Chain A
Amino acid sequence: MHFIARLALAVVIGLAAHPAAAADKPSLTIYTYDGFAGEYGPGPGLKAGFEAQCGCTVNFVGTDSSIGALRRVQLEGATTSADIVLGLDTSIAGEARATGLFAPHGLALTGLSLPVKWTDPEFVPFDYGYFAFVYDKTKVANPPKSFEELIAKPTTFKIAIEDPRSDTPGLGLLLWIRAAYGDKAPEIWKGLKPHIVTMARSWDDAYGLFLKGEADMALSYTTSPAYHAITDKTDKYASARFDEGHYAQIEVAGMLKSSKHQDLAKQFLGYLTSVPAQKIIPTTNWMYPVVDLGADLPAEFNALPKPAKLLSLDEKTITANKDKWIADALAAIQ
């Protein structure tokens, strides 16, 4: 077996043949989270789409999380082989920007269709969604309509959430509560405490617990029911609409100053926000596209309820207070 032989070689001499890349083609390396790069994610489709037009090779490098991708670039500094970091979100964009590793994208980015006006000079959005609690309609007849209603439910009503330190939806929930309740946020956390069945490391675990029936609701996205509608052909899952409003997660990509392929990277970011690329996103990353796809957006997405109100926090406030807010929330549910 060729692979085994190569592996054995790698072990013996500590070196393996580089991934075969045609010598004359430039190669664009993109660090992202594993789920994006993997076979279920948008990675393969985007790679094929961009390679068809760029005369280059796209190389997705998956790490365990989007924060992991950023950390890796930080560790590697100027010697990184990455040209683009993809998958950061607006909650940690400030921290990423502060590293000074990212270059302006210089794209006009007209024709975006986002819940906010996009003016970021360094990061390019490629999808978005609203954090929400997802429930099973066949099991939960009266979903809570606010955090206060959720707290008022009997303590047998359980939610699975994510750890804000390890997972972007977990951080999203923290910011959501903070945006809605300000300094009263710790009280909300205290109220949530008896309902929290677990604070999982990742979205996968929390959502998995919910699907197994261990929790009545899981923190996910308003777009999650679209997955179940399209792939599982079931409409029994829905997201609970909260009166306080919902917090948006906008996922972004940015090119690195150290990249040797600035033009190519810029070209990719442009492609990322183009209609052909955006068409891949909804049914692979299960988030809203950042451009209006019209009839190309699966109907299940249009059927999803939009939040009554959009909550947001500005980047500087987040970066300055994130650690304290996390400590407060954890202390409240300890």
Chain B
Amino acid sequence: MPTPWPRSNSQPKVLPPRPLRLLGGAVIAMAVALLVVLVLWSIASAAYGQPETAAPLPDVAHLLRMSAIQAALSTVLSLLVGTALAWSLNRLRFAGRNLVIALFASAIVTPGLIVAFGLLTVWGRSGWINAIANVLFHTSIDTPIFGLGGILAAHVILDAAFAARILLARLDAIPSTRLKTGQGLALTPAKRFATIDWPALRGTMPGLAAIIFLLAFTSFPIVLLLGGGPANQTLEVAIYSAVRLDFNLHGAVILALAQIGFCSIIILAASAFAPIPSTLGPSAGQRWADRGFAKAVQWTVLLACIIGFALPLLAVLAGGFSSNLPALFARPSFPSALATSLAIGTLSALLTLVLALGLGSARAATLRPLARIGLAAPAYAYLAVPAVVLALGFFLLVRTMGIEPATAGPAVVILGNALLSLPFAIATLGPPLEAVASGQGKLIRSLGLSGWQQFVRVEWPLLGREIGVVLALAFCFSLGDLGVISFFGTQDFSTLPLLLVRALGAYRTDDAAIVAAVMLVITVAAFTALPQFFARWSDAQA
């Protein structure tokens, strides 16, 4: 029977149907969304039992405006610098390249406080740069490290390095045939960027921009330390003071809703962009270095970034090598905090991976805009939920369920940090999963591969490195956590960041510097080792 137009879909159906993946993703997305609702509900219901406080709410509109301007600047700068850095790293080969990449990548998960102090060690009034300037020119440079300048600098260090890591992976995945074609056409470096690099980067940009914007928007310790005072504030800071100081839970819920509402607009806008499919996996050894002026620019960018980004982190490492080292390591508290941190980080990383794979592969299995938003938005919401709100909500929930906070502590810290790392994990795994679905979908369908075969034979071998990156990210996030743990700590539950804060709070800046350096070493090690290990492991099974 002839059927009238438009019964059929005129676009080729290349996406393999994956009902189980969609179901799994939907369940995770709903659970994750439900948890946000529960967290806010439990705070709201606690607020209900509380007398209305007289404490005035801060000017929300002003805070929103201030935060948005700062966040927009941070985002634009981070993406520009991140792209330039990724471009340079993609072209240049030198000894220690992997270590440099790992150092850059680790910036995003380094606790803000450590970055801020590293920044000061280099750029501060008594920092390295000024020390050199004093020797050479007998004058100090007045670096604008406090105020908006300092906030932007710290955010660019954290976020541009993260952006560079993600973008570099896209550039490294450009197929060698495309490079050969370009090389054959003798494209100029600028043309090459426009025709080969940019299309590979484009798909990642909206998600990346949204993440960086939200990170800067909700930035907390950096804004407080480098902001120079109440003139530079974020909504997150106001929420913190409403919860912890004024005990104004009504206000906290209102401010948190304002923040989540505003951030949701950003998130929805970003997730509505269907990422442009990108190619996968490192290209087969095709090397095409730029020459001449472009090469000089690349080295300049790289050196500037190393001085700007890596030096503050190196300063943290250098600060850790003090005479107190053996004494601190010999304390019983150190190995136990180290073991706790490692255990929490590992479990949290595994949980993040499972959740991100569930959501990402479900998202890649559908083209429906609403389903795609519904699958990603709840996870991205955790970029907007203030850690202090999450911690408070979990605390109240756990008590409502009749569980001792101290007992639930480890589980909550693991879950909380997994949720906070989830947006980053999805941003990392999402594009390559989409690339598999759209790029290899036809072959997968024509062979009738099952979802499991698709994972084992196609996704796992191709995504090994990204899986390693996600594990490293989530691991380091929980390693550095101070937000979620704040409500759940007890005297026998200690982690490295708690140790650090305790040392700082007890004048022991030397001990704090050592713990900071140890955390940084673990972070960099995780970022160097995990992606490579997983890339090799998954590749070995191909």
Residues of A within 8 A of B (CB): 1, 3-4, 7-8, 10-11, 14-16, 18-19, 34-35, 37-41, 43, 59-65, 67-68, 71-72, 74-76, 79, 81, 158, 163, 165-166, 193, 196-205, 207-209, 211-214, 224, 227-228, 231, 284, 286, 323, 327, 330, 333-334
Contacts and interface: CB of A to CB of B under 8 A. Distances in A.
A19 B506 contact: no
B489 interface: yes
Contacts of A231: 507
Interface of B: 46, 54-56, 113, 117, 120-121, 124-126, 146, 221, 224-231, 240-241, 243-247, 331, 333, 336, 339-340, 343-344, 347, 392, 395-396, 399, 403-404, 406-408, 410-411, 414, 482, 486-487, 489-492, 494, 498, 501-509, 512
Contacts of B146: 197-198
A13 to B, nearest CB: 9
B241 to A, nearest CB: 4
B490 A61 contact: yes
B117 A212 contact: yes
Contacts of A213: 124-126
Contact of A327 (B56, B124, B347, B395): B56
A10 B113 CA distance: 30
Contacts of B505: 34-35, 38, 40, 202-204
A64 B490 CA distance: 11
A3 B507 contact: no
Contacts of A197: 146, 228
Nearest to B230: A330
Contact of A8 (B124, B246, B347, B392): B347
A83 B178 CA distance: 70
Contact of B507 (A34, A75, A166, A227): A227
Contacts of B230: 163, 199, 330, 333-334
Given A205-B113, A207-B507, A7 B120 contact: no
Contacts of A76: 399
Residue of B224, B230, B512 ringed by the most chain A CB atoms within 10 A: B230
B504 A204 contact: yes
A76 B398 CA distance: 11
B407 A16 contact: yes
B414 A11 contact: yes
15 contacts: A10-B407, A16-B411, A18-B404, A34-B501, A76-B399, A79-B399, A196-B229, A208-B509, A212-B124, A213-B124, A213-B125, A214-B120, A214-B125, A231-B507, A333-B229
Nearest to B498: A34
Contacts of A3: 336, 339-340, 343
B120 A209 contact: yes
Given A15-B403, A79-B399, A62 B489 contact: yes
Nearest to A33: B505
Contacts of B347: 7-8, 11
Contacts of B113: 205
A166 B240 contact: yes
A166 B126 contact: no
B407 A39 contact: no
Nearest to B147: A198
Given A11-B414, A198-B227, A198-B228, A286 B507 contact: yes
